[in-house]
């Protein structure tokens, strides 16, 4: 990848706020710098919105709502379909842009853009399938008519780890349902969202339907929106701590909320697992997205009979991965998002080692180069009290713990406040079904290290969230159900 290509990818993106179809500066003229995590150098500056900009965005979203709700579903679907095509056409350039601001290897960024685009294709198809009901009341006296209507203006808050897919997973169903929206991307990765917003405009999305606020002051920008009665919906993807605070703020106006929050995924390798499949699945469940995924395997439980061969194969695989700048050829693991992210990973590893864990590979931040690099790391014999088993790691660290029987594995796996996803490797269907039913998570990967697909309902239980994104029910988050009692 040349510096020229990188510069072009960044230059091409609008850097302002998108409000009412116009790209404009923040009211107070504020801007902030977006950083490349592989060099710790600035890439460019974007507008830094404040509360006045947020209210201007809500004015336009509220004004556009009635007309947008009345648009033909097919028309809304065609806009999503056109945006799907544009994303696919521009995936190479968008992948470079995403890697520059987020760090993951370009091949993974390209994978995310294709995955992000699929949400638009999926919801283009769902827009025309919004239905209702008509039935005769049980006593024959009157009719029950049920219709679905858009919830209304929505605030969509997204994280930095999947800068585009976490957006399309919300924007797709909001457009399909007929909601207008304000999108607030993470401050570290605004560029992918700004590029996406421009593409939606080119695909025919009317002015005011989608508004974008980039900011370094998320509380100042979002709280006035949540407290304004015109906003009717909040969809948030991010940490459980911030999600909890936003649920509290949403209580004032009893907002509809969807929450995709943190995870602490267990990955269980049973005594009858296919070892090769289990190692492959663990590598992807752990290292996809530099380990910075809510779905990342956070705790690896291996049956004692397989512990030695599994752990040494995993250490070989992780130890041979190429770490570097995500735009460089052949790189498999990029930098972490920032110094705080890298330092957290480092502190979790140090805590585990102090408690008695053995480092098989990695275990120290990569020194002597700019950027926030941490090498793939395997820890064995991790003791139960170690923080690395309790907290979301968000980095390329695989802590391995052994177990003796299925009951113990299920107990250990469920011993967390989180409940997003779990992974089980077994060659027995009976055992797989038992685990799938007993694990307290919204999703289970059965002999699979990746569960994400637009066609399936993605989401967590316990403190991992509320609601589902994708699948047949993903659009329900943006629809209200109205019942009309009909006298006949
Ligand atoms: P985060 O700190 O919670 O931030 C997420 C988003 O919330 C960002 O846009 C952030 O803006 C914004 N935010 C922060 N404080 C806010 C406030 N007071 N009011 C309104 N918005 C606020 O999380 P993150 O570090 O970006 O992302 C990683 C987390 O996301 C992990 O916990 C991960 O598990 C979770 N995640 C979950 C899913 C899922 O589907 N369950 C998917 C991906 C990620 P700023 O950038 O300006 O701080």
**Atom from ligand 1 closest to the CA of residue 242:** 3
Check residue 1 and give its pLDDT: 57
Classify 123 in phi/psi space as left (phi over 0), alpha (psi -120 to 50) or beta: alpha
Token pair, residue 81, equals 């379909």
Expressed in angstroms and rounded, the spacing between residue 10 Cα and the centre of ligand 1 is 23
Expressed in angstroms and rounded, the spacing between residue 332 Cα and the centre of ligand 1 is 25
**Chain centre to alpha carbon of residue 338:** 18
Expressed in angstroms and rounded, the spacing between residue 371 Cα and the centre of ligand 1 is 21
CA triplet 478, 91, 339: central angle to 5 degrees? 80
Who lines ligand 1 at CB under 6 A? 157-162, 166, 184, 186-187, 218-219, 222, 237-239, 242, 245-246, 260-263, 294, 392, 420, 460, 465
Check residue 309 and give its pLDDT: 98
Contact between residue 146 and residue 132 where contact means Cβ atoms under 8 Å apart = yes
Beta bridge partners of 146: 133, 483
Ligand 1 pocket: which of 47, 159, 265 to mutate (most atoms <8 Å of CB)? 159
Check residue 367 and give its pLDDT: 87
**In 3D, which of 317, 218, 301, 212 has the Cα closest to residue 264?**
301
- pLDDT per residue as tens, the chain (488 positions): 578 889 999 999 999 999 999 999 999 999 999 999 999 999 999 999 999 999 999 999 999 999 999 999 999 999 999 999 999 999 999 999 999 999 999 999 999 999 999 999 999 999 999 999 999 999 999 999 999 999 999 999 999 999 999 999 999 999 999 999 999 999 999 999 999 999 999 999 999 999 999 999 999 999 999 999 999 999 999 999 999 999 999 999 999 999 999 999 999 999 999 999 999 999 999 999 999 999 999 999 999 999 999 999 999 999 999 999 999 999 999 999 999 999 999 999 999 999 999 999 999 999 899 999 999 999 999 999 999 999 999 999 999 999 999 999 999 999 999 999 999 999 999 999 999 999 999 999 999 999 999 999 999 999 999 999 999 999 999 999 999 999 99
SS3 state of residue 361:
strand
Helices (H), 307-405: 307-319, 339-354
Q: Is the pTM of this model over 0.75?
A: yes
Based on the residue annotation, tell me whether 11 is a catalytic residue of this protein.
no
């Amino acid at each position: 990848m040349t510096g020229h290509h990188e510069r072009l990818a960044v230059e091409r993106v609008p850097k302002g706020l998108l409000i009412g179809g116009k790209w404009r500066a923040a009211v107070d003229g504020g801007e902030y710098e977006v950083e490349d995590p592989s060099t710790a150098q600035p890439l460019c500056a974007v507008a830094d919105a404040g509360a006045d900009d947020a209210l201007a965005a809500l004015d336009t979203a509220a004004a556009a709502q009635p007309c947008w709700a009345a648009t033909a579903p097919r028309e809304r679907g065609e806009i999503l379909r056109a945006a799907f095509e544009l994303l696919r056409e521009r995936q190479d350039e968008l992948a470079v842009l995403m890697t520059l601001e987020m760090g993951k290897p370009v091949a993974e960024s390209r994978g995310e853009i294709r995955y992000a685009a699929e949400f638009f294709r999926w919801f283009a198809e769902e827009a025309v399938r919004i239905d209702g009901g008509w039935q005769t009341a049980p006593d024959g006296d009157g009719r029950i008519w049920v219709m679905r209507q858009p919830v209304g203006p929505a605030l969509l808050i997204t994280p930095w780890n999947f800068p585009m897919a976490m957006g399309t997973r919300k924007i797709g169903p909001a457009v399909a349902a007929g909601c207008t929206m304000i999108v607030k991307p993470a401050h570290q990765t605004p560029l992918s969202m700004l590029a996406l917003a421009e593409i939606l405009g080119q695909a025919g999305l009317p002015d005011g339907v989608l508004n974008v606020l980039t900011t370094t002051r998320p509380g100042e920008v979002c709280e006035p929106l949540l407290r304004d009665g015109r906003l009717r919906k909040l969809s948030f993807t991010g940490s459980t701590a911030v999600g909890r605070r936003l649920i509290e703020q949403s209580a004032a106006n009893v907002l509809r909320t969807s929450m995709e929050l943190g995870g602490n995924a267990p990955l269980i390798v049973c005594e009858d697992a296919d070892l090769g499949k289990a190692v492959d699945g663990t590598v992807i469940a752990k290292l996809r997205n530099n380990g910075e995924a809510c779905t990342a395997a956070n705790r690896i439980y291996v049956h004692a009979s397989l512990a030695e061969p599994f752990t040494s194969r995993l250490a070989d695989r992780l130890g041979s991965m190429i770490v570097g700048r995500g735009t460089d050829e052949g790189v498999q693991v990029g930098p972490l998002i920032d110094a705080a992210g890298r330092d957290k990973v480092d502190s979790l590893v140090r805590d585990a080692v102090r408690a008695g864990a053995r480092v098989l590979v990695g275990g120290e931040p990569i020194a002597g180069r700019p950027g926030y690099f941490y090498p793939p790391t395997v820890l064995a014999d991790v003791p139960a009290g170690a923080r690395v088993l309790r907290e979301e790691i968000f980095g390329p660290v695989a802590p391995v713990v052994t177990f003796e029987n299925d009951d113990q594995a299920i107990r250990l796996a469920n011993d967390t406040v989180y409940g997003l996803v779990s992974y089980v490797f077994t060659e027995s269907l009976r055992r797989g079904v038992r685990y799938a039913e007993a694990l307290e998570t919204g999703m289970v990967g059965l002999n699979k290290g990746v569960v994400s697909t637009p066609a399936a309902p993605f989401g967590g239980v316990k403190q991992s969230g509320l609601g589902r994104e994708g699948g047949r029910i993903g659009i329900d988050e943006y629809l209200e159900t109205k019942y009309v009692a009909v006298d006949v």
